[in-house]
Amino acid sequence: MSIRTILLVASLALAAAVQGREVKNFNNDWEFRRGPFPEEPHTGATWWNGKWEKVNVPHTWNAIDMQTRVNDFYEGPAYYRKKFRMAAADSGKRCFLRFEGVGACADVYVNNRLVGSHKGAYSAFALEITGAVDYDGENIVVVRADNKSRPDVIPVNHQLFGVYGGIYRPVWLVTTEGVGIKVTDHGSPGVYVSQSNVSDKRADVRVRVKIDNGTAAPAPIVVETVIKDGAGRKVKSDRRQMDLTPQGTQTFTTDFVIEKPHLWQGIYDPYLYSVTTRLVSGGRVIDEVVQPLGLRRFEAIAGKGFFLNGKKYPMYGVTRHQDWWQKGSALTDREHDADLNAIMDVGATTVRFAHYQQSDRIYSRCDSLGLVVWAEIPFVNRVTGREWENAHSQLRELIRQNYNHPCIYIWGLHNEVYSPTDYTSALTASLHDLAKTEDPDRMTASVNGYGIALHPVNQNADIQGMNRYFGWYEKKIKDIDAWIEGLERDYPWQRLMLTEYGADGNPDHQTELLGESLNWGRPYYPETFQTKTHEYQWSVIAKHPYIIASYLWNMFDFACPMWSRGGVASRNLKGLVSFDRREKKDSYFWYKANWSRQPVLYVTQRRNADRERRETSITVYCNRGVPEVALNGRPLPRPRQGYTEVHWIFDSVVLDDGDNIISARTTGEGEVLSDTVRWIYNGEKDRSPEKYENRKTHSGF
């Protein structure tokens, strides 16, 4: 359940009360002005009365330029403003603004008064505005957002991905009584649910709530905590009275034992309890927060694999960037849900949300879908020596805001950051210590791109992640074998995850003529090479439990505003799905056939329709028996099995001149599956990467 949903549930639950927490949508009727500006701050009446664009939130000003123009996009300040009035019933209440995400640094003013600032594009923050609000008249909130790269705010550049500017996630206006569950605890829900000693026999649950008395005197209150099962039935409850001092935030802790719990079993049974914490004063509920509870135990064991509740669990992993074509990062629940639907459809069991904190909607849906989640901060690509404080701040926010999501098993600390190695190593070790202080029960991870165990910035976290792109950025596709075997032999104690692998694939680039490596600096990124890479490398990963989890890069194409590669500006083409989400590449179906429990029959290379050779091969992915294939109605001999049990190859197929209709069929478990593709052969030709350099991009069939 998302923070947004939790707040709304709390609001609805208190509808009958005279007073209490209320959460209002604050997303509509904003005005916007983008820089650059000749000078700041802008206090003159002429400027403020000038032309403003009417927008609704979520909004970004980089949805087009950051996705289409290489190193030619606007980064810098912009202003948002909105007029609002408080309800008469709000007089005497406390008032807060909660921003789910502003890219990248924000200053917030209410009625010309600075009420707070925030550094970091990806975490939520809440600001109390009580002292600045006019409860009887019109108010104006102004947000200065700035996404210019800074050496003291991670990520410190736009190299690996673009930091979209704007108020790109929802905003909420929250009102509470003088006494309430803390709203401004680093953007957290103010309630922390931890668990220990989890088994099918019992589970220990601890609920900590931070309570804030904003009045001038002690307040007698009752703290109620109720745990309910998935059907809404009360399982455990506690009710205690306390006198809440106004001298600082107070923490109240309640311990429970749940006998014979229904465990959260990932995608197989993502069972959720709920924890309701409410404050009662004078017999009336004055505040309430609801949080999810999934009872589970994660283990990563060197050389053996990943275990959920003591049972071996398959870690079929993808990664996800949050941006969409022509939307940037300004997404609604519709786009987030569509991405998760695709991730579930391909058969993934785990997701690395790279390289930053993503929408709470995402984590909440993963709770209920059963996806095991890697969450991380954007300490990536480059070190400046000035990001120490902000890296700690963003990690603290990531953990506190997402502490209660049962889907999250690990906190990512860094990705491919190196020199100066002493500083980077010390910073990573300090982040690890912070994570273990905030959340002792989850693992931490750091990620290296060199693929060696004893690199100077390695071994500062519970899990060592390594990104390897054999055949793409280095060596040849099949060199993955020697790499894994060497680590298994020399470092059997190491808990290792393969955190990125794959290759770019442009669906407009097609060829049969492929070697074992590709020069990624060329403008030619054939989809068929991407497919070849994934076919072999997943087959190797599947045989090695030494790789505790693997995460292919990437589920979706995404914007890289500093790059121009593969014939497309500002694009990373390593996704299994195109940037606009309309086209699923062959690799998508490779993983779906290998991972998913759904029936799959798929003939590859349907976009490689203008064939280069008369004698060729046909590859079919089929997870329901052995496929039967006919060419122009003529049955082909039984195929040979390829790298995995779903991989079938029909060799030495001789095409007819002109049209060639390939029909595949299989019957398995009472299901009849079929697939058909059309190829054309009009003579021998050569579209190999070596021949492509001086030709136009091959497109469309």
Give catalytic residues, as residue numbers. Answer: 416
Distance CA 22, CA 128 (A): 14
Peptide bond into 155 cis (omega under 30): yes
Number of H helices, E strands in the chain: 11, 39
Q: How far apart are CA 273 and CA 263, in angstroms?
A: 10
Query: Strand order of the sheet with strand 113-119?
Result: 53-55, 30-34, 77-85, 138-146, 105-110, 113-119
Q: CA triplet 327, 188, 298: central angle to 5 degrees?
A: 90
Residue 518 pairs in a beta bridge with none
DSSP run (H or E) holding 647: strand 647-654
CA separation for the pair 193, 289 (Å, rounded):
12
Spatial distance between the Cα atoms of 234 and 240, rounded to a whole number of angstroms: 17
| Angle of CA points 642, 572, 407, to nearest 5° | 75
Structural tokens at position 520 = 């990624």
Give the pairing type, strands 350-353 and 372-376.
parallel
Angstrom distances, CA of residue 600 to CA of 263, 276, 590, 645: 30, 42, 9, 12
Tell me the chain's radius of gyration from C-alpha atoms. 27
Tell me if 309 sits within 8 A of 269, measured CB to CB.
no
What is the C-alpha to C-alpha distance for residues 550 and 567, in angstroms, rounded to an integer? Answer: 29
Query: Element (H or E) spanning 221, and its range?
Result: strand 219-228
Contacts of 344 by beta carbon, 8 Å cutoff, 6+ apart: 267, 369, 371
Output the DSSP codes for 531-559: HHHHHHHHHHHTT-TTEEEEEES-SB-EE
Crossing angle (nearest 10°) for helices 421-438 and 388-402: 30
Give 565's contacts (C-beta < 8 A, 6+ positions apart).
504, 520, 521, 523, 525, 571, 572, 573
Count other Cβ atoms within 10 Å, centred on residue 404. 25
Residue at 565: amino acid letter: R
CA contacts within 13 A on the Cβ side of 244: 29
Residue 266 gets the label, from left (phi > 0), alpha (psi -120 to 50) or beta, of: left
Q: 691-696 contacts: CB < 8 A, separation 24 or more?
A: 692/509, 692/522, 692/523, 692/524, 693/522, 693/524
| DSSP H helices in 571-666 | 586-595
